[in-house]
Structures are given as C-alpha cells and as structure tokens.
C-alpha cells in the first residue's frame, strides 16, 4: 500500500468526490460509496494492497 | 441415510406428492451370516448406502476389498424424498468414470450451457459456458444435472455386477463398541439383532449420524436463519433449457429463486422463504401450488413431483477419524446446498479414502495414511463451508448495510463486466487443493489433475484414468521424455517393492522398456507443469503427489515413501 501522494490534483479529486454526492439521500450516499469502492478496487487489482487498505481504513476508526 | 430419531430441526422435510413420484427399486433383505451362526471379521463396514457410502463401496470393490454396506432402508434415495442432490461436478464425474457408471450418468443426465441471473424484472447478466474451457482438458464435462437417486441406483447396480461387496438392506446400526484391533457394531434387522465385527468402519450415515456421539467426536455447527422450499415439477410445456437464478424475484416477494432442469423433464425450483418460516406450512402442496402460479401464471400445466423445505446449517466434525472409525459425507460435514458442494464433496471424500483404506488393509501401509484423509478432507470441508456461507450471506444480507453493498454489486454488474464476479449465487463444487498435505513429495503436490485424453503406444485412444486401471489402482509415476540409460531396471525394482506403476510420456519409441503413452495435446505436461526429463507422481485419486525435475531413482523412491506415509517430509 502506497502512503505517499500519487494524485496530481488532490484538492480537485476531493472536491469532485463531495460534489458527486450532493443532493443524495443518506441511503443513496451509502450506495454511491459502495459503488465507488468496488470500481476503485478493480482498478487497484492487487489483493494484498486491497487487504492492507481495508486494514488501514478499519484501524483508523478504532 | 439420515436417522431422524433425534429431536432436532430436520435438515430437510420431505413430502411425496401423489401422481408424480418415481418408481424406485426395492432391494431384498437377506438374513446376514452372523444371524445364521457365522462369525468372522469384515475388513470394512460402511454405514449408510447413500451417495458417499455407495461410492466408497464401489471404489473398495474395484480395489479388491470386500466391504459390507449396512443401510436401514431397502431402496435408493430417502423414502418419500425422491430428490436431493441434482448436480454432479467434473471431479465426481471423473470418479464415476473410474467406477464404471459414467456412461449411464451421462446418458440419463442433462447439461445446460446458458445461465441467466435476474434481479427484479431485469436480467443482470447471461453466461454461456459453451466453448468456455474453464476446466481445461477433462474428458468429462464441467457438470451434469441428475437426480441423486439415479446415481445411487447405478452404483448399486454396479456393486451387484462386481459381486464382491455385500449390501445389507434393512440393517440398522444401533450401537458401536471400539476396540484396539476392531470395531463391533450392534445391528437390528427384521430377522433379529446381531453383532458385526469389522477392522474399519466408515460412517456415511448422513447429517443425523449417531455414530459421531457414540465415538465422542464433537460437532462444530452453525445454524442459519435462512429457509428454502424446493418444488420438483414436471411441466407439460418445457421452459427454455437454461439455468435461471433470481436474486430478488418479483414473484417471490423480492427473495431468491432458482430454476434448473434435471432428467425426465423434471425441473428443480427452489424458493427462498422469509427467516423463521414454518417449514411444514411452507411445503404444503396448496402453498407450493400458489407459489408456482405466481411464477408461471394461473394456467400452468404441470405435475408436482416432490416438495421439501429445509433450513440452512453448517456443521463439521472436529476430526474425521476416531480410532478405527472414519467419517465421510454428510456425517462428517453439512453445508448449504449452494454450488452442489454437499454431494460432490461426499464423492470426493470417498475418492480420497478408498485407496488409503485399501493400502492400509491390503498393502501393509501405516495407519498414518488415514490421518492424511482427516487432514485433507477436513480442510476441504472447511473450505466448502466457507464458500457456501459467503453465498448465503450474499443471498440473505443479514442487515440493511450489507443489503446496500449487494445493491451496489447488482447495479454495477449490469453496467460493467468485472462486477459480475461479485454476484455470488453459488460457486460450483471444484476439487479441493491440498497444498499442505503430509503426502506431498514435490513441486505442485496436492493439485488434482483433470482426466485428459491420451493415446497408448499402440495408437489406441485412452484417458489418464485408464492408466490407473493398467496400474491396478496403484500410484502412477509419469516420466516425461527419454529415460536415462539403465534407469528402467531401477524403476522395475521400485515397482516390485511399492504400489506404483511407471509410464513414459512421449520420448523415443523403444521396445521392452516401460509402457509408453502419448500426451495428445500436451495437456498432461501442461497440467502437471513438467518438462522433458521431469517426473510426476500421481496418487490413485488422480491428485499430484508432486513433481521432480530429472530425479534419480533414489529421489523417486524417497518421493514415493513420503506419498505413502512411510516417511515424513
């Protein structure tokens, strides 16, 4: 799992991510996030990296 | 077959529906020798003449072990439950080929190639298996659908034809005493009660086996909330010969449903029910008829063949061997029916155990070989339970959160191909890998080899399993390419001392040496991942024990000794 920045425009990505969810209900937002995770997982395409990302995401919540 | 005496939630309740059910054979009760004063010890007693027990009996018969099979009933299939397993996967079909019933299974069974998956009113995706080489190279297809009792029937016919196994119908096992050198079974029959002695007992008596308690072997279990109801139906007008799966069926209140075809134009319809449904109520014929009308319309012309409701459960014994008692099939493990992993894993249990029992009994090999049965098949059971529980979780999300994830999967599956991989309506039974097996003696150990086509040196077409027939059911050692000078003599010596037969694959034709086969499409070398000069050792269940690169005769002997449990790695 890479921990250094790989995005050319982090602020732009963050804004697009939030904008895309504007006007959605809570239910629709959950669905959006799930769809996005599945799409991104297939772009990563590496089981070990995905497992590390899942662990890192979970660890930060305690 | 299951013993329903214990008061617990039945795995499956069955109702025969008049008019539609099958004519099943009835086998005669013959007074056992023990009741006529005969004593003596049987090498193997198999408890339960279901799919697993009959497969094992047939396997042992072909290996020259005259087992005795005890069954409390006198027919195939559970009485009144004319239908259980319906789908036989490739590895089972290869086993049936070896046992000599494959031709009958293939002639009676049906195959489909188109599968469609629906959610709501839309098709999520369709799949055509035609021409897809997912199981490259086997002479047997990926699967055949057939009612289980037919397979049992063919196995019984085959056993009577072979003649060495004694099938004891109406013999109910009521108790068990284990001694150091034998097991005693208390058996009840219409002619009275007797005691049977056997060197080994294999419990194939199903998911309600009592032998497990008598042996003090614990059962680790999980009971699901999910309830299903099966209806086997004969239609006047046949639906398309395709497998249809609904994840959210509009005619089943948004729950899952299945539609597959079996032999005799009978269809298996399987409906997911609300959690904690009353199974008896849900399987009443008038309730089932109403469900059918919702799916197929009011003017449906059909005949109900069998109806049965069941609840999911997963169970696995803490060990599959207890002294001289071994557990196989549902007696050892129970799982949800997804992917046809129940019956097929029972066949694989029998395939794994038969040669080991035969070699321990007749070949003087250590009992440790049977511990490898426990190790390998218990890991297989755990894998099957894990895989089927994943499917159950997809089909019945336990909470709203997981339902949202499923909604995301179903949405994406309609839009982009990769997401179809997440749609889990069951993963078809595949032979389990044993990468950690104590019998592995080289690279690639614990991998199954498909039954590929070969040609014999005299030009006749054969298959990989034919080599095991030529080998007298021993191990098969394959030497790829030409033999180093003087090697044949050393190998002939190994053949005299161990249960193994060597074959050359390809290389120069030469008279008087080891028998030679031609790897027609290079599939054997590819599957085994062996190059020229390499060696592959195949177990009698057609698993690779391991491969070696250009080994000496001494290295081949060491590999054999590991694969036979004579030495540790």
Inter-axis angle of helices B51-62 and B341-362, to 10 degrees?
A: 30
Determine the Cα–Cα distance for residues B77 and B89; give it in Å rounded to an integer. Answer: 19
Q: In the structure, what pLDDT confidence band is assigned to residue B273 with cuts at 50, 70 and 90?
A: very high
Q: What is the pLDDT of residue B389?
A: 92
User: Would you say residue B218 has pLDDT above 50?
Assistant: yes
Determine the Cα–Cα distance for residues B469 and B463; give it in Å rounded to an integer. Answer: 10
Sign of CA dihedral B395, B398, B402, B404: positive
Q: What is the pLDDT of residue B512?
A: 62
- Check A34 against B419: CB less than 8 A apart: no
Q: CB-based contacts of A16: which residues, under 8 Å, 6+ apart?
A: none
| Chain B environment of A38 (Cβ under 8 Å) | 408-409, 412, 419, 422
Instruction: Judge whether A17 is closer than 8 Å to chain B, CB to CB.
Output: no
Facing residues of A31 across strands?
none
- Please name the helix (run of DSSP H) or strand (run of DSSP E) that holds residue B48, with its range, or none: none
Q: What is the pLDDT of residue B135?
A: 52
Mutate to test the interface with A, among B418, B421, B422, B423 (most CBs of A within 10 A): B418
User: Chain-wide mean pLDDT for chain B?
Assistant: 89
Cβ–Cβ < 8 Å for B453, B520: yes
Instruction: Judge whether A35 is closer than 8 Å to chain B, CB to CB.
Output: yes
Lowest-pLDDT choice from A2-6, B25-29, B159-163, B342-346: B25-29
Cβ–Cβ < 8 Å for B55, B350: yes
**More confident of the two residues B497 and B19:** B497
User: Would you say residue B2 has pLDDT above 90?
Assistant: no
pLDDT digits (tens, 9 = 90+) for B19-54: 446 778 899 999 999 999 877 899 999 999 999 999
Determine the Cα–Cα distance for residues B276 and B507; give it in Å rounded to an integer. Answer: 64
Determine the Cα–Cα distance for residues B179 and B184; give it in Å rounded to an integer. Answer: 8
Q: What is the pLDDT of residue B131?
A: 56
Give, as one character, the DSSP assignment of residue B529: T
User: Would you say residue B18 has pLDDT above 70?
Assistant: no
Average pLDDT over every residue of B370-386: 97
Q: What is the pLDDT of residue B311?
A: 83
User: Would you say residue B264 has pLDDT above 90?
Assistant: no
Average pLDDT over every residue of B541-559: 97
Average pLDDT over every residue of B215-241: 87
pLDDT digits (tens, 9 = 90+) for B63-106: 999 999 999 999 887 655 545 888 999 999 999 999 999 999 99
Q: Distance from B137 to chain A by nearest Cα, in Å?
A: 29
Cβ–Cβ < 8 Å for B501, B471: yes
Determine the Cα–Cα distance for residues B501 and B478; give it in Å rounded to an integer. Answer: 9
Residue with tokens 């196994």: B165
pLDDT digits (tens, 9 = 90+) for B96-155: 999 999 999 999 999 877 889 998 888 888 887 765 555 568 999 989 999 999 999 999
Average pLDDT over every residue of B474-493: 91
Determine the Cα–Cα distance for residues B47 and B68; give it in Å rounded to an integer. Answer: 9
| Chain B environment of A31 (Cβ under 8 Å) | 404, 407-408, 411
Token representation of residue B417: 């191909």
């Amino acid at each position: 799992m890479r921990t250094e920045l790989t995005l050319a425009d982090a602020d732009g990505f963050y804004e697009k991510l939030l904008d895309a969810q504007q006007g959605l209900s809570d239910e629709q937002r959950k669905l959006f996030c799930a769809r996005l995770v599945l799409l991104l997982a297939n772009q990563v395409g590496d089981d070990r990296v995905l497992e590390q990302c899942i662990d890192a995401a979970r660890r930060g919540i305690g | 077959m299951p013993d329903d005496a214990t008061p617990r939630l039945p795995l499956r309740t069955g109702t025969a529906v008049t008019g539609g059910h099958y004519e099943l054979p009835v086998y005669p009760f013959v007074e056992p020798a023990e009741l006529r004063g005969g004593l003596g010890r049987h090498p193997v007693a198999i408890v339960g003449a279901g799919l697993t027990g009959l497969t094992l009996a047939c396997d042992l018969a072909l290996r020259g072990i005259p087992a005795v099979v005890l069954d409390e009933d006198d027919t195939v299939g559970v009485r009144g439950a004319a239908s259980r397993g319906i789908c036989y996967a490739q590895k089972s079909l290869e086993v049936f080929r070896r046992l000599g019933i494959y031709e009958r299974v293939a002639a009676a069974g049906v195959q489909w190639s188109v599968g469609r998956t629906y959610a709501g009113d839309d098709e999520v995706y369709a799949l055509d298996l035609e021409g897809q080489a997912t199981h490259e190279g086997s002479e047997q297809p990926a699967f055949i659908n057939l009612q289980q009792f037919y397979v049992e029937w063919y196995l019984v016919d085959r056993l009577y034809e072979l003649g060495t196994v004694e099938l004891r119908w109406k013999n109910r096992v009521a108790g068990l005493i284990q001694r150091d050198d034998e097991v005693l079974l208390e058996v009840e029959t219409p002619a009275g009660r007797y005691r049977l002695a056997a060197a080994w007992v294999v419990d194939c008596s199903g998911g309600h086996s009592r032998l497990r308690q008598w042996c003090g072997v614990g059962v680790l279990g999980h009971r699901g909330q999910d309830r299903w109801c099966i209806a086997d139906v004969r239609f006047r007008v046949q639906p398309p010969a395709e497998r249809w799966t609904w994840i959210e069926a509009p005619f089943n209140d948004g729950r899952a449903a299945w539609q597959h075809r079996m032999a005799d134009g009978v269809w298996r319809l399987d409906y997911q029910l609300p959690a904690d449904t009353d199974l008896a109520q849900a399987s009443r014929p008038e309730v089932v008829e109403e469900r059918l009308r919702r799916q197929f319309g009011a003017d449906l012309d059909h005949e109900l063949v069998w109806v049965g409701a069941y609840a999911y459960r997963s169970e696995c014994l803490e060990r599959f061997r207890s002294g001289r008692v071994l557990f196989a099939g549902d007696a050892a493990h129970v799982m949800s029916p997804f992917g046809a992993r129940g019956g097929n894993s029972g066949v694989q249990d029998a395939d794994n155990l038969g040669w080991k029992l035969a070699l321990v009994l007749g070949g003087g090999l250590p009992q440790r070989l049977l511990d490898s049965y426990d190790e390998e098949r218990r890991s297989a059971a755990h894998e099957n339970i894990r895989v089927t529980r994943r499917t159950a979780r997809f089909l019945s999300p336990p909470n709203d959160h997981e339902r949202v994830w499923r909604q995301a999967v179903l949405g994406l599956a309609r839009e982009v191909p990769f997401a179809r991989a997440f749609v889990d309506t069951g993963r078809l039974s595949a032979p389990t890998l044993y990468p950690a097996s104590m019998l592995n003696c080289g690279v690639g150990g614990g991998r199954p080899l498909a039954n590929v086509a070969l040609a014999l040196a005299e030009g006749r077409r054969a298959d990989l399993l034919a080599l095991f027939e030529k080998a007298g059911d021993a191990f098969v050692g394959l030497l790829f390419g030409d033999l180093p000078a003087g090697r044949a003599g050393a190998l002939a010596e190994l053949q005299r001392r161990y249960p193994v037969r060597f074959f050359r694959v390809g290389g120069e034709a030469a008279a008087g040496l080891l028998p030679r086969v031609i790897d027609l499409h290079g599939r054997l070398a590819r599957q085994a991942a062996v190059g020229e000069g390499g060696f592959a050792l195949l177990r009698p269940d057609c698993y690779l024990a391991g491969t070696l690169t250009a080994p000496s005769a001494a290295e081949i002997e060491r590999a054999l000794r590991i694969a036979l449990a004579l030495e540790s790695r």
